[in-house]
Amino acid sequence: MRKSAVLFLGLSLLLPTMAWAESPTEITAIRNAARGGNQGAELLLALIYFEGRGVPQNPAKARQWMQRAAREGQPYAQFMLGSWYAGGLAGLPKDATEAGRWWQKAAEQGQPQAAYRLGQAYLTGEGVKTDPKRAEYWLRRAAGAGNAPAQTLLGKMYHEGYGVPRDLEKSHDWLARAAAQGEGEAILFLDFFVRMGEDALQGYRQSGPELEARARQGDSEAQYQLALRYESGAWGVLQDNRRALYWFHQAAASGNRMAMRALADVYANGLLGAPKDLRQADYWRNRAATREPPRDIIKNPAAVGRSSTLP
């Protein structure tokens, strides 16, 4: 693979947060790489023309390069193309059906934003036939990948029992994950969540060190919320899989059912650097269902893995 192709493939992985190149030299290099068939460069060039970064805005060229990247299978390009169809942008007709088609392609490749928009579409019936079960499936895919809006919407579905069995614990779990990332809507919704008291809600307003101090004193809710922060890297802490896993285990050991559910997901899917372990997943799922404190598993460091202690 040519050096330029490697460069632009790496740049494409930084989207959508990167600041796109603006100098004539950089734009020329991106254009040349795009003409050579590099998908990352095709996507970057489409966004440059769409935003007018270093060149005049050109919807036709933006559309041309975005469609090319999407057709070649670039997942973020597929998501963006679907979004352009949804909003009637870049000279494309507003077409919810076409939007859903491109989101589906991107979501099947694991693109979380596309999975969220596809879940939304199945929930509202925009461009697809309303199907709450499919909505839940795609929202869970997006939420499991850390998409906070999907976590919030999924939490609302479980709270209302819309298309899924009403489950306040699952609702709390997903809303708490979104709130830990600073998702304002989830935090506001939790303020009205009858099952949560003021002590629990204070955790979302505390700084990282304050929350960690409570966690080290044995507060299971603080331990769980701290794990969520380390999982997502929000609210004053750096993302750290090992510490997230450690605090999930500590909260679970203190009887926190949300932490037990989180560990079931971790081991079922091999998340946070933990190996996929269906036996562990079943164990934590059963502990959450029976409300039995898992003291036996915590006494076995091998079961907790490298997260049993922290330096």
Q: Which residues 6+ apart lie within 8 Å of 109 measured at CB?
A: 73, 75, 78
Per-residue confidence (pLDDT) for residue 106, from 0 to 100:
96
Q: In this structure, are 94 and 122 located in the same domain?
A: no
**Residue 75 within a domain:** yes
Q: In this structure, are 241 and 150 located in the same domain?
A: no
Number of compact structural domains in the chain: 3
Residues 143, 151 contacting (CB under 8 angstroms): yes
CATH of residue 135's domain is 1.25.40.10
Nearest residue to 159 via CA among 138, 145, 178 = 178
Per-residue confidence (pLDDT) for residue 292, from 0 to 100:
62
**Domain's final residue, options 101, 135, 153:** 101
**Residue 296 within a domain:** yes
**Domain's final residue, options 196, 228, 251:** 196
**Domain's final residue, options 53, 71, 101:** 101
Angle, alpha carbons 286-290-295 (nearest 5°): 80
DSSP string, 267-308: HHHT-TTPPP-HHHHHHHHHHHHHT---HHHHT-HHHHGGGG
Q: In this structure, are 135 and 78 located in the same domain?
A: no
> How far is Cα 269 from Cα 123, in angstroms, rounded to an integer?
25
* Tokens found for residue 23: 């100098």
Per-residue confidence (pLDDT) for residue 30, from 0 to 100:
86
Q: In this structure, are 167 and 191 located in the same domain?
A: yes
**Residue 150 within a domain:** yes
Q: In this structure, are 116 and 188 located in the same domain?
A: yes
Q: In this structure, are 230 and 184 located in the same domain?
A: no
Q: How buried is residue 116: exposed, middle or buried, by Cβ count under 10 Å (0-12/13-18/19+)?
A: buried
Q: In this structure, are 90 and 7 located in the same domain?
A: yes
Q: In this structure, are 187 and 125 located in the same domain?
A: yes
**Residue 238 within a domain:** yes
Domain with 276 in it? 220-311
**Residue 114 within a domain:** yes
Q: What is the pLDDT along the chain (311 residues), one digit of tens a residue?
A: 343 433 444 444 444 444 444 678 888 888 888 888 888 889 998 999 898 888 889 999 999 999 999 999 999 999 999 999 999 999 999 999 999 999 999 999 999 999 999 998 998 888 899 898 899 999 999 998 889 999 988 988 887 777 788 887 888 888 888 887 877 777 777 765 544 444 444 444 455 677 778 888 888 888 887 887 787 665 556 778 888 899 889 988 888 888 888 898 889 888 888 888 999 988 988 888 876 655 544 433 333 433 444 53
Q: How many helices (H) and strands (E) does the chain have?
A: 19, 0
Q: In this structure, are 130 and 188 located in the same domain?
A: yes
Q: In this structure, are 254 and 232 located in the same domain?
A: yes
Nearest residue to 96 via CA among 124, 116, 67, 131 = 124
Q: In this structure, are 81 and 1 located in the same domain?
A: yes
